[in-house]
Structure 1
Amino acid sequence: MRRYHGTAMASLILHGDLAKNEPSLTRALKIVPILAAPQGLHGECTPPDKLPIAMVYRAVLALVTGWKGASPKGEHVVIFNHSVCDQQGAFARRPSAWAKLLDYLSHEYRLLFVVSAGNILDPFRIDTYKNCDDFACADEIERQIVLLRCLEQAKGTRQLLNPAEAVNALTVGAMHFDGEPEIPDGHVNPFANIGVTNLCSAVGLGVNRAIKPDLIEAGGRQLAASELVDSVVSVWGTDLGLVGQLSATADPFGGDTTKLGYSTGTSNAAALVTRSAIRIADTVEALFSDNEQNWLNEPTRAVVLKVLLAHGCAWGQTGALLDQTYPPIERKCWQRRREAISRFIGYGRADIHRIITADGSRITLLADDVIAHNDRHEYSIPIPRAMINNKEVRRVIMTLAWSSPIDPSSMRYRGFSLELVDESGKRKFWSGVKPVLQPSPDAGRRGTLQHIILEDKKLIASTDTGNFVVNVQARAALATFDKQKVPYALAITVEMAQSVRSDLFADVEARVRKKVAERVRERPRSKVRVG
């Protein structure tokens, strides 16, 4: 019994990092093993006599439609954890057959695949230290900066592993973080708790330079090992089972069902994002039920989860650190530098608590619909009165997610492009806020996820209309799809500093409810929810 990987993933999804003592999930988890441990091999791999993508295809269809005449075993399953990558297949410009399969299944059956970015175990060169002792004994802050810079220089050899480039999937990188505080003596901890990825986490971009990974999540701390080859120090990340995320593990002798162990990697990070998706699904089901709708029957069910998972992301202090570390350093080259940052951390780490917990200082509005080529859906959100005539920090967060059909033989590949624009078709939404340090909006147009954070604290005496207007604009990238409609979800959070929280939620909610009631009488094309 060497099913270490699947056991750890199931444990992390249901119970989280056991060192953090989080509540367990109550939903059932269906596990379809596609890894085995053949005799003579130390690790686990897909069976040598089976095609991995065929195993995934059969497993998904058996759940959602039934296989070979059998009844579906998970008809209402929406979330698929895909913590498996092709260790021998790095993404190189064109999507792999495996990624194409996930994109097709995702769009056809309204599914959300949470995919691990992959772990790159190869060493990378360090250009600062003469030998391994100098590296191990270096100042921690200096060594941290050197590692970040050298990892960026080596990005061309540390690409995503197939099928992490899938455009409809949510791809997850691994952050250097876990619930265990101590690093054993004699080992090098490469990073402090600064929110960067661990040493083995694969880096993007994706198809046609789309932002990948989409986000990052805790993937355990990997220790730094080093060696001197041809007078050059090379470093790689190691998983020694001494630190990392604590989870159930298989007993090779089959007798102990309480055995625990530590592990690290992007698989762990994807498992924790899957766990977050399940928690969000509980909230979403209740939200739709309040509107007398069954979320599982909606064409937008998968993109609703995707948009909410990404909605709590931000670069924060991690982005500020990398913006000072990564090239090019010239101010005018800010777009290239932000692209370099997004290769590693995507849109940042998701803060699920902002999504599933209420706070009077913010209100989140969720809209979902289907949209056709050349259509534009308009959303008008009341600007809270508390945002006017003061210099308190105000923030607007907008996240758009959609599912696109694909043309596997076209270089464009992605069949539909959506974008967030203002009333003039541009991105000047409101003078009361401005963009923060984050991926360029142009980069966000290349995938199926767009995430924009706007904030400011300058004095705004009044507004022209009293509303914040956002448009979802659609365009078929390929003529093949110009008669189709695609599902999308839009989340918008309006937020203020804690000191003015008293009437924000009630103010916006009352004005939105009134607008929704008026639109219902007009038979609207869009549904708006307040949460």
Structure 2
Amino acid sequence: MPHDPEKPLLRLNEPSGAGRRRSPAGGSRARAFDRGAQERAHGPLFRRLHTILDRADAALELRADASSLAPERLLVFEVTGSIQNFVNAISRIPGLEFAGEEELAPDEFDKNPEFYLLVPQLDALRQIVSLWEGWQRAGTVPRNYGPWAQLFAQLRMIRPWGPADRVSEQNREYFRHAIDGAADDELLRIEIELVFRASGDTAQAAEAAIANQITHSGGAIIDRSRHPEFGYHAILADVPAAEIRRLAELDPGSLAGADPVAAIVPQSVGTPIEAEDQTPVDQARPHPPVEDPIAAVFDGVPVQAHPLLAGRLAIDDPTNLEARAVGQRLHGTAMASIALHGDLNDPPTPISRRVYFRPVMYAPAIGDELFDGDRLVVDVIVEAVIRMRANGGGNVIIVNVSLGDITKPFTGKISTWARALDYLAFRYGILFLVSAGNVNAGISMRDFANAAEFEAARSADRSRGALRGVDAAKADRRLLAPADSLNSLTIGAWHRDSSSEVFGGVTPFVPYDGEEMPNLSSRLGPGLRRSTKPEALFAGGRQRGRLDPVAAPPILLSHPNPSRFWGLKVAAPPGNGGMGLHYTMGTSAATALATHSAHRIFDALERAYPALIAQMPLAERAALLKALLVHAASWRGSDKFIRSVIDPDAEMHHEHWRREVCRHLGYGFVDPEDAIACASDRATMWATGSIGPEGSIVFDVPIPAVFGNSSSPREVRATLAWFAPTRPGHLAYRAVKLRVPSLHTDDLETAGISTTTGQPTNTQSESGTIVHRRWRNARIGTAAGGGTIPVQVQREIDQGARIDEGVPFGLAVTVEMPGAIQVYDQILPSIRVRPRPQVRA
């Protein structure tokens, strides 16, 4: 049933303490080698190192050879699998600094290989050699150094971090293209990420060495930044084309061979949006009555004077990007419009407060909107959040980031921008809503010989062919930074909008006719360590497709131009003599719609529970909105369509095919109306709190009596969200994990429900900072007069050092039986803290 504003969300009763449930078992044991095999493989390297270390000028000799293991050089220890407590063992060697660990692609021998990154001083190198020699002689190492014996047994390779590590093949190609035909002294602006060193003095010396190398090559330093809170140290520099050519060719004498450098990447470039089909302003919307904002938008400079934006934005522009925004202010104007009003095709859904707006891009006279080219974008965002908290945004709990860096698609390692958002989310209690990014590259449909064959095919075959093409290209359609952020919600674009105009043409056409799916251009997951990304899909316009007219096999292209027939209606910059409206689509628009929806949820909660919300900590407010935004998500049956393409013979393990569905759908499609209030046949309950180390609490969720006297279909779903502190550089990057243990068999019987495969697997759901569980069935429950089932929230043993600080969480639980109008009324008497009575407007 549609939501009923007179049936607000219900607050769960206070939890009680609960015994801890056993956590799932870990993975399989990693492969190990005997000492003889390791001596043959690595003995020559260690013997040569021993010989050189005995010399008086050992450090100079080792550093002179770019291929050697040398002091103050980042070293790679590649192993067959994770080594327990190895980081603690590293700390026992004076002068040995841990710099990170990363996953490697699995192969036929090892399922979970990885590597450790260490920076040794000279004496630390000597001690590593000594440990190796002791292990070779007796198979043992001194007490408290046990993990080193395991490392030696699992060691696949040891080598220095080299030019190919610092400049990826993708970035080498980018640089070659960027300087093609350029004179040697022509400058290209790039970002140089340095190996993060804990010591400020060591970091400063490394930065100075790289700065000297850049200026010596004829370049210049433009900006620099260091943030120990999330392990970031970088330089923005102009570098001559001659040097760019050298580093693109992996010349060890170039910046690509410099020991302090971790990575060399292109300067961050924002993602543009398309907006078309301008119409006059044909409507007025109410002004928010409250000035104090709870939502913010970080985006391009908007048209502040637009009649739908004027007086509704709290603009904070400390760097005066307004003066540089002389072109078409498309992006920021559209995002501000959606955050304030939603899709203007819809009836008004006003929000209660102004929106804080921080310009971080501007529209030049010609071309797409740009970040400030003289700043590192990560630093801009960090500075913007800190300033916001002290300058008019002290109560902001939602920040819209409909931005992405087209030069930094996700490759398995978390981006620096994502690390920044993760730190800021936990430190300041902010829910960042981040767009997944759009990709417009064509899709080859090899099911068809040519365009004519595609056009003659049945609609269902065309849809399957389109999805097969997307699936074949999935590696090239990954998320854009910072959408890989673990604490943020990443939003994809649902092929949906509220336009009522009917398009009568044949092309462009609907790519997935009759199926609920993301837009063709919406980028795909998963996220870090196979976590669920994007978590949710919001309406992003009914983007259509078109064919390359000459390609064979046919190439399917995302139709880039929104219109009144497909797109979200938004405020437009001046055109044809006055302010107007036009249409946009994509993940940026979908993310802004999620921000508008989160604000509406907050407003509904504040109306129903003014005293509770007023005293609730900001981080708990943000975590609750995070849970409620995802709580309404579902696959809507689209998993069946996707599985029919990726697993037509139903041979995949359920973990595998559900992981592939999740790549496209995340937790699913969100209709915001389902998240704002309850209905007669649906009761959504919520709770917030903070849970300490190894804490475990249980909420008793009331079950309506109708569950015990009807066999109608019913569902119970639970969504848990939190903000985790992080461990930059570690594979166990998320320092705190919460989970919702499975319901016991007796509890399933009480409600007449069972587990379902129509959702991501527990393993994947528990890899991020959102756990979303659902149980369904159509059988009579055992609690004929009602009852309760326990939903437990448990904090697992912290990764790394114990964190004494409590972690803020939000929990949402829904009990639903479609068509059973007594559900809400049967649950309400069990609720101790009642919502304020709602008056229909």
The TM-score with structure 1 as length reference comes to 0.89
| Contact residue 421 and residue 429 of structure 1 kept, 8 A | no
Q: Which residue of 1 aligns with 2:595?
A: 274
Q: Which residue of 1 aligns with 2:385?
A: 60
Q: Pick from 25, 29, 54: which aligns with 2:351?
A: 25
| Contact residue 285 and residue 295 of structure 1 kept, 8 A | no
Instruction: Tell me, yes or no, if structure 1 residue 76 matches structure 2 residue 76.
Output: no
Q: Which residue of 2 aligns with 1:454?
A: 775
In structure 1, what is the Cα distance between the partners aligned to 2:671 and 2:813? Answer: 15
| Contact residue 703 and residue 827 of structure 2 kept, 8 A | yes
Cα gap change, 1:428 to 1:182, in 2 (>3 Å): farther
In structure 2, what is the Cα distance between the partners aligned to 1:457 and 1:43? Answer: 53
| Contact residue 196 and residue 318 of structure 1 kept, 8 A | yes
Instruction: Tell me, yes or no, if structure 1 residue 4 matches structure 2 residue 330.
Output: yes
| Contact residue 176 and residue 191 of structure 1 kept, 8 A | no
Q: Pairwise mapping of residues 199-214 of structure 1 onto structure 2 (< 5 A)?
A: 199-214=520-535
Q: Which residue of 2 aligns with 1:247?
A: 570
| One-letter amino acid of the counterpart of residue 445, structure 1 | E
Instruction: Tell me, yes or no, if structure 1 residue 383 matches structure 2 residue 383.
Output: no
In structure 2, what is the Cα distance between the partners aligned to 1:304 and 1:336? Answer: 30
In structure 2, what is the Cα distance between the partners aligned to 1:155 and 1:447? Answer: 21
Give the percent of matched residue pairs that are identical in Structure 1 and Structure 2: 30
In structure 2, what is the Cα distance between the partners aligned to 1:316 and 1:329? Answer: 22
In structure 2, what is the Cα distance between the partners aligned to 1:15 and 1:21? Answer: 9
| Contact residue 131 and residue 228 of structure 1 kept, 8 A | no
Cα gap change, 1:218 to 1:355, in 2 (>3 Å): closer
Cα gap change, 1:269 to 1:470, in 2 (>3 Å): same
In structure 2, what is the Cα distance between the partners aligned to 1:133 and 1:271? Answer: 39
Q: Which residue of 2 aligns with 1:98?
A: 417
SS of the equivalent of 1:251 reads strand
Q: Pairwise mapping of residues 292-311 of structure 1 onto structure 2 (< 5 A)?
A: 293-294=613-614, 297-311=617-631
| Contact residue 34 and residue 47 of structure 1 kept, 8 A | yes
Gaps of 5+ in 2: 1-326
Cα gap change, 1:428 to 1:157, in 2 (>3 Å): farther
Q: How many residues align?
A: 505
More displaced 10-residue stretch of structure 1: 366-375 or 83-92: 366-375
| One-letter amino acid of the counterpart of residue 451, structure 1 | H
| Contact residue 171 and residue 215 of structure 1 kept, 8 A | yes
In structure 2, what is the Cα distance between the partners aligned to 1:285 and 1:407? Answer: 35
Alpha-carbon displacement from aligned partner over 1:350-383 (angstroms, at most 9, x marks no partner)? 2332232332222222111111221111111232
Q: Which residue of 2 aligns with 1:322?
A: 642
Q: Which residue of 1 aligns with 2:578?
A: 256
| One-letter amino acid of the counterpart of residue 357, structure 2 | I
Q: 1:221 offset after TM fit, Å?
A: 2.3
Q: Which residue of 2 aligns with 1:489?
A: 810
More displaced 10-residue stretch of structure 1: 362-371 or 15-24: 15-24
Q: Which residue of 2 aligns with 1:442?
A: 763
SS of the equivalent of 2:593 reads helix
Q: Pick from 476, 485, 491: which aligns with 1:166?
A: 485
| Contact residue 508 and residue 559 of structure 2 kept, 8 A | no
In structure 1, what is the Cα distance between the partners aligned to 2:691 and 2:398? Answer: 23
Q: Which residue of 2 aligns with 1:400?
A: 720
In structure 1, what is the Cα distance between the partners aligned to 2:632 and 2:360? Answer: 32
In structure 2, what is the Cα distance between the partners aligned to 1:360 and 1:336? Answer: 37
Instruction: Tell me, yes or no, if structure 1 residue 470 matches structure 2 residue 791.
Output: yes
SS of the equivalent of 2:511 reads coil
| One-letter amino acid of the counterpart of residue 349, structure 1 | F
Q: Which residue of 2 aligns with 1:89?
A: 408
Q: Which residue of 2 aligns with 1:51?
A: 376
In structure 1, what is the Cα distance between the partners aligned to 2:782 and 2:398? Answer: 46
Q: 1:45 offset after TM fit, Å?
A: 2.5
Q: Which residue of 1 aligns with 2:471?
A: 152
| Contact residue 709 and residue 784 of structure 2 kept, 8 A | no
| Contact residue 392 and residue 496 of structure 1 kept, 8 A | yes
| Contact residue 78 and residue 111 of structure 1 kept, 8 A | yes
SS of the equivalent of 1:189 reads coil
In structure 2, what is the Cα distance between the partners aligned to 1:449 and 1:103? Answer: 14
In structure 2, what is the Cα distance between the partners aligned to 1:228 and 1:412? Answer: 48
Gaps of 5+ in 1: 67-71, 518-527
Instruction: Tell me, yes or no, if structure 1 residue 430 matches structure 2 residue 748.
Output: yes
In structure 2, what is the Cα distance between the partners aligned to 1:329 and 1:406? Answer: 41
In structure 1, what is the Cα distance between the partners aligned to 2:837 and 2:381? Answer: 37
Q: Pick from 187, 190, 197: which aligns with 2:518?
A: 197
SS of the equivalent of 2:465 reads helix
Q: Pick from 680, 684, 694: which aligns with 1:364?
A: 684
| One-letter amino acid of the counterpart of residue 266, structure 1 | T
Cα gap change, 1:319 to 1:13, in 2 (>3 Å): same
Q: Pick from 178, 187, 197: which aligns with 2:497?
A: 178
The TM-score with structure 2 as length reference comes to 0.57
Alpha-carbon displacement from aligned partner over 1:146-176 (angstroms, at most 9, x marks no partner)? 1112212211110000000101101000011
Instruction: Tell me, yes or no, if structure 1 residue 140 matches structure 2 residue 459.
Output: yes
| One-letter amino acid of the counterpart of residue 333, structure 2 | T
Cα gap change, 1:466 to 1:26, in 2 (>3 Å): closer
Cα gap change, 1:422 to 1:319, in 2 (>3 Å): closer
SS of the equivalent of 1:35 reads strand
